[in-house]
């Protein structure tokens, strides 16, 4: 999901050759860049953009899954889903903090999300229609996120890399949980199997889109690769995901909705049909099924509860004045 | 007494545990509605946390209620497959989330009751309930602290937050009294050493709530009205809608494993 964080990223930078060479030497030596280290402005900007979009994705991602908390079919599933969505919120918090080390505030970043200036992963603009969508999101969406995030654990920027280590552990757990929901459905009644197949049909292609445009279209990839913000190209990660996921679908007895999907012995991977890039760009530009509803929900949570945050701030100020007064006595 | 009428006592215990389970389930369900929509990210995590605690307590209690009943009903059979009239939660738990002040006041009323309740229950002659109580006590102590801090911030925050929180108190005040009700079922559990004297917890609750309201510069509403009915399955109009969501999957696809 996080390759999309680089769409439109502007890595242009204006430092002199000596500075850039020294910086690149640190990167090439696999030294981690820490918040107070000198870094090119383009590096900082690219990271803020990517980490912020990652954080926004976690927060907006709470909405489609949150849609099923009150309707989860058993108490065990309800508790697991609530805990999972809570984890996503925790990832968001963690990532906003990582972005803040680069000198940008959470408030600024949230404002960019709410104004529509900042993006989040296109996948969360699809609706969760049935319970099987909850299983499918865990299996495919978290599965794709892991593919993206495992290499990010080695990202050159220290705080982001360290955040990813913890996030990946939790995402792996979510992915297994999602797959287990699918397994239960696929071993269940005909209705349940049909529900699982229907969910796979709807989520397969959007999941592949999570890796972002083809490498040839991904204009800012090269600089990010050189800076080791990114370790693999979009197409490489997408291929890994397909190769890992198709056998899982087969084990479930489900059919991947791509008639052109075929094992290619020579490349040791699957060939697949073309992704509908018109759909992808339409969703990225804000015209997916749920784009408007997702932003509206986030804005409402923010605006309708502004009085709560104002109260907390006012109280903190009063309390601090009182403390000062007591200390002065 | 226990030797004379074991069936009757088992019946009362079943109902007693079920009431307790329903309180936690319905309030946990309400908190789940907040997920993704809270005033801050930190509070989103906190409300989910409290909801998860309550769901966990409900699961232990439903499982135990099923064992007490002895008819093979699972936690899910009990949680999802009853008619509205057979849910026995207090009406407070089913009240809508409203604004954040309503949610926090509702939670304060609940936690200020459950802390002394679970504390007393740790001395129950029933080992399972005593164990659930010991675990739950730690959880509701945190809920009480969290809600009290919010009530103080909101009451003594801005003019708007003060007005909203006072309105939430006024709106929910009459639902608190149901928590202290005793009836035949509760009396029987008290006499047999299983249950807690809820009526006796009123002073404790008053002291906790009064102290929080004083620090929050909020007024304690008059005890001029009270609502009752939940313990006998007579619910507000909200309950049916909660169950529409809660029971949706189990009612639409009966008898399946998920």
pLDDT range class, residue A6, cuts 50, 70, 90: low
Q: What is the ipTM of this complex?
A: 0.96
Tens-digit pLDDT profile for residues B83-100:
999 999 999 999 999 999
Q: Which two tokens stand for residue A5?
A: 């964080």
> What pLDDT does A144 receive?
97
Residue B132 within a domain: yes
As for how many domains chain B has, the answer is 1
Q: Calculate how close chain A gets to B80, using CA atoms only, in Å.
A: 8
Residue B50 lies in a domain: yes
Instruction: For chain A, say whether B257 makes contact (Cβ under 8 Å).
Output: yes
Both structure tokens of A199: 């969910």
Residue B179 lies in a domain: yes
pLDDT (mean) for A199-206: 98
pLDDT at position B1 is: 47
Q: A69 and B100 in contact by Cβ < 8 A?
A: no
B258: closest chain A residue by CA? A184
Nearest C-alpha of chain A: how many angstroms from B247?
Answer: 7
Find the CB nearest A70 among B33, B41, B52: B33
Q: Does B114 touch chain A (CB under 8 A)?
A: no
Residue of A nearest to B59 (CA): A75
Residue A1: the pLDDT is: 45
Residues A148-157, mean pLDDT to the nearest whole number? 95
Q: Using CB atoms, which residue from B76, B161, B246 is nearest to A70?
A: B246
Ranges of chain B whose pLDDT falls below 50: 1-2, 4
Task: Give the residue-averaged pLDDT of A169-189.
Answer: 97
Beta bridge partners of A264: A269
Give CA A36 to chain center in angstroms: 26
**Among partner residues A66, A75, A188, which is closest to B55 by beta-carbon distance?**
A75
Residue of B nearest to A189 (CA): B256
Percent residues over pLDDT 70 in chain B: 98
CB A293 within 8 A of CB A127: no
Asked whether the beta carbons of residue A69 and residue B35 sit closer than 8 angstroms, the reply is: yes
User: Which residues form the domain of B155?
Assistant: 6-252
Q: What is the mean pLDDT of residues A206-214?
A: 96
**A315 CA: distance to closest CA in chain B (Å):** 5
In chain A, which residues have their Cβ closer than 8 Å to the Cβ of B245?
Answer: 70-71
- Say yes or no for a CB contact (<8 Å) between A308 and B161: yes
* Model confidence at A319: pLDDT above 60: yes
Contact with chain A for residue B210, Cβ under 8 A: no
Nearest CA in chain B to A107: B40
pTM of the model: 0.95
SS3 A186: helix
Q: Which of A66, A73, A189 sits opposite B250 (nearest CB)?
A: A73
- Per-residue pLDDT at A329: 81
The C-alpha of A73 sits at a distance from chain B's nearest C-alpha, in angstroms, of 5
Substitution target from A307, A309, A318, A320 for chain B, most B beta carbons within 10 A: A307
CA–CA min distance B119, chain A (Å):
25
In terms of CA atoms, which chain B residue is nearest residue A56? Answer: B41
> What CATH code is carried by the domain that includes residue B18?
1.20.1260.10
Which of the four pLDDT bands, split at 50, 70 and 90, describes residue A2?
low
- For residue A303, the tally of other CB atoms under 10 A from its CB is 10
Residue B258: inside a domain: no
Contacts of A154 (CB under 8 A, 6+ apart): A161, A228, A231
Are B40 and A309 inside 8 Å of each other by CB?
Answer: yes
In angstroms, the first-to-last Cα distance of chain A is: 56
Q: Is residue B1 part of a domain?
A: no
Residue A4 pLDDT level (bands cut at 50, 70, 90) = confident
pLDDT of B2: 47
* Nearest Cα residue to B21 out of B72, B90, B103, B71: B90
Name the pLDDT band for A8 (thresholds 50, 70, 90).
low
Residues with Cβ within 8 Å of residue B211, at least 6 apart in sequence: none
Query: What's B222's DSSP letter?
Result: P
Both structure tokens of A130: 């049935």
Comparison of pLDDT for B137 and A16, the residue scoring more: B137
Residues of A in contact with B45 (CB under 8 A): 86, 89-90, 93
Calculate how close chain A gets to B96, using CA atoms only, in Å: 14
Q: What is the pLDDT of residue B7?
A: 76
Report how far residue B162's alpha carbon sits from residue B156's, in angstroms, rounded to the nearest whole number: 6
A-chain residue closest to B248, CA distance: A71
Phi, psi of A269 (to 5 degrees): -160, 180
Residues from chain B contacting residue A308 (CB–CB below 8 Å): 39-40, 43, 100, 154, 161
Q: Is residue B233 part of a domain?
A: yes
Give a yes or no: residue B257 inside a domain.
no
Give residue A39's pLDDT.
Answer: 96
Chain B residues 135-154 within an 8 A CB cutoff of chain A:
152-154
């Amino acid at each position: 999901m996080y390759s999309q964080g680089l769409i439109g990223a502007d890595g242009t930078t204006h430092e002199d050759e000596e500075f850039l060479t020294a910086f690149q030497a640190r990167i090439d030596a696999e030294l981690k860049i820490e918040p107070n280290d000198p870094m090119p402005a383009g590096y900082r900007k690219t990271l803020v953009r990517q980490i912020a979009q990652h954080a926004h994705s976690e927060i907006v991602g709470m909405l489609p899954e949150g849609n099923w908390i009150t309707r989860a079919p058993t108490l065990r599933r309800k508790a697991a889903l609530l805990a999972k969505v809570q984890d996503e919120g925790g990832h968001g918090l963690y990532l906003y903090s990582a972005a803040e080390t680069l000198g940008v505030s959470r408030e600024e970043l949230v404002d960019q999300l709410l104004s529509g200036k900042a993006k989040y992963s296109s996948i969360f603009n699809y609706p969760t229609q049935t319970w099987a969508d909850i299983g499918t999101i865990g299996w495919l969406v978290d599965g794709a996120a892991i593919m993206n995030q495992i290499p990010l654990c080695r990202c050159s920027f220290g705080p982001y890399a360290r955040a990813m280590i913890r996030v990946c552990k939790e995402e792996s757990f979510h992915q297994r949980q999602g797959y287990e929901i699918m397994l239960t459905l696929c071993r269940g009644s005909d209705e349940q199997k049909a529900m699982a197949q229907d969910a796979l049909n709807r989520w397969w292609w959007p999941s592949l889109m999570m890796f972002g445009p083809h490498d040839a279209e991904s204009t800012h990839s090269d600089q990010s690769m050189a800076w080791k913000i990114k370790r693999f190209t979009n197409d490489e990660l997408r291929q890994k995901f397909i190769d890992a996921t198709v056998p899982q679908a087969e084990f479930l007895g489900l059919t991947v909705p791509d008639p052109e999907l075929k094992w290619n012995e020579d490349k040791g991977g699957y060939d697949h049909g073309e992704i509908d890039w018109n759909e992808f760009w339409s969703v990225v530009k804000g015209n997916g099924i749920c784009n408007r509803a997702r932003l509206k929900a986030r804005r409402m949570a923010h605006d309708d509860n502004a009085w709560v945050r104002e109260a907390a701030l006012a109280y903190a100020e009063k309390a601090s004045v009182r403390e000062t007064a007591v200390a002065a006595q | 007494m226990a030797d004379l009428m074991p069936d009757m006592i088992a019946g009362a215990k079943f109902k007693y545990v079920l009431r307790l389970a329903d309180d936690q389930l319905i309030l946990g369900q309400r908190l789940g509605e907040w997920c993704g929509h809270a005033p801050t990210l930190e509070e989103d995590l906190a409300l989910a946390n409290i909801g998860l605690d309550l769901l966990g307590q409900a699961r232990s209690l439903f499982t135990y209620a099923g064992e007490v009943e002895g008819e093979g009903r699972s936690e899910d059979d009990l949680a999802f497959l009853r008619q509205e009239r057979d849910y026995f939660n207090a009406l407070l738990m089913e009240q809508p989330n409203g604004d954040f002040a309503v949610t926090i006041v509702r939670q304060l009323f609940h936690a200020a009751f459950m802390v002394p309740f679970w504390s007393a229950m740790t001395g129950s002659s029933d080992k399972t309930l005593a164990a659930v109580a010991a675990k739950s006590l730690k959880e509701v102590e945190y809920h009480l602290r969290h809600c009290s801090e919010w009530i103080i911030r909101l009451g003594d925050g801005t003019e708007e937050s003060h007005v909203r929180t006072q309105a939430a108190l006024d709106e929910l005040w009459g639902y608190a009294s149901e928590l202290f009700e005793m009836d035949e079922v509760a009396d029987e559990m008290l006499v047999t050493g299983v249950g807690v004297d809820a009526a006796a917890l009123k002073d404790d609750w008053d002291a906790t709530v009064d102290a929080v309201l004083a620090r929050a510069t909020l007024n304690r509403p008059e005890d001029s009205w009270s609502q009752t009915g939940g313990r006998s399955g007579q619910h507000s109009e909200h309950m049916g809608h909660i169950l529409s969501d809660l029971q949706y999957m189990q009612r639409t696809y009966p008898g399946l494993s998920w």
